[in-house]
Amino acid sequence: MLKLAKALCLATAAFAAIPAQATTTILSGLGPDDSSVFFGATSNKTGAINDNFSFTVPSGTVSGFIGSIALKTKLDVVLTSVLLDGKSLFTQDLTGYEEKWSLADTIVGPGTHIIQVLGNWGTGGGSYSGTLNFSPAVPEPATWAMMIAGLGLVGASMRYRKGHVRFA
C-alpha cells in the first residue's frame, strides 16, 4: 500500500511538472484596410493559460485590449502576461475579478505577428476575450509629394503634345 501511495505521489508530481502546451489560433479578417478582430478562450478546468493568437498584416498600427470578468470566485482568470511578438507591450489597467490589459497604438511591420496570453484559469475554469484593431500605414509626405509631382508631369506632357489629333 505504501508503494502504491509513493507511485501515485510521483505520478502526480510528474504530471504537475509538465508545462502547459501552447495553443495557437490564427486570426483572420485583419487588414489590409482599417479592421478589427475578436479573439479569446474559454476553459472549464483549472490550469495554466498559454495561448497564442497569430495574425498577418501589412505595415500599420495595431491596438486593442484583453479582459476577463469573474462572475464567481472559481471562474477568476488571472492573466500574468500578455505579449506582442515576445515583448511586453500590453499594460495591465485593471486587476482582480475584473481584469483588463490594453495595447496602445503600436507600429508593426508587414508579416505575421503573435499575441501570447499567459496566466492561470480559475478553479472552475473561466474565459477571457479581446479585440485587436488594425490601421494601415499612411504614406509619408514625401511620397505624396512625389506622386502629385508625377501626376502633374504626366498632365503637362499630355497638354503640350506636338501632334494634334483631328477627326474628319
**In a domain? residue 145:** yes
Query: For 136-148, what is the mean pLDDT?
Result: 78
If one compares 66 and 141, the residue with the highest pLDDT of the two is 66
Residue range 152-162: average pLDDT? 76
Mind listing the pLDDT tens digit for each residue in 33-86?
Answer: 889 999 999 999 999 999 999 999 999 999 999 999 888 888 889 999 999 999
Q: How many CA atoms lie within 13 A of 117 on its CB side?
A: 29
- 150 and 99 Cβ atoms separated by less than 8 Å: no
Question: Quick check: is 10 in a domain?
Answer: no
Higher-confidence residue of 79 and 13: namely 79
8 in any annotated domain:
no
Does residue 1 have a pLDDT over 80?
no
Domain count, the chain: 1
* Domain membership flag for residue 15: no
Mean pLDDT of 91-102: 92
Mean pLDDT on 85-100: 93
* pLDDT at position 16: 38
- Would you say residue 165 lies in a domain? no
Give the separation between CA 27 and CA 157, rounded to whole angstroms: 47
Residue 96 pLDDT more than 90? no
Q: Average pLDDT of 110-138?
A: 93
Handedness of CA 144, 147, 153, 157 (dihedral sign): negative
Domain CATH code at residue 143: 2.60.120
Mean pLDDT across 115-127: 93
Residues in CB range of 154: below 8 A, 6 or more apart? none
Instruction: Work out the number of other CB atoms within 10 angstroms of the CB of residue 21.
Output: 7
Residue 31 has pLDDT above 70, yes or no: yes
3: in domain: no
| Side chain identity, residue 140 | E
pLDDT category at 137 given cuts 50, 70, 90 is: confident
Give percent of the chain with pLDDT exceeding 90. Answer: 51
In this structure, is residue 34 part of a structural domain? yes
The CB density around residue 36, as the number of other CB atoms within 10 Å, is 12
**Domain residues for 152?**
21-157
- Count of CB atoms within 10 A of residue 144's CB? 11
What is the average per-residue pLDDT within 121-140? Answer: 89
Residue 13 has pLDDT above 50, yes or no: no
Cell 504537475, residue located: 16
Asked if residue 162 is part of any domain, the answer here is: no
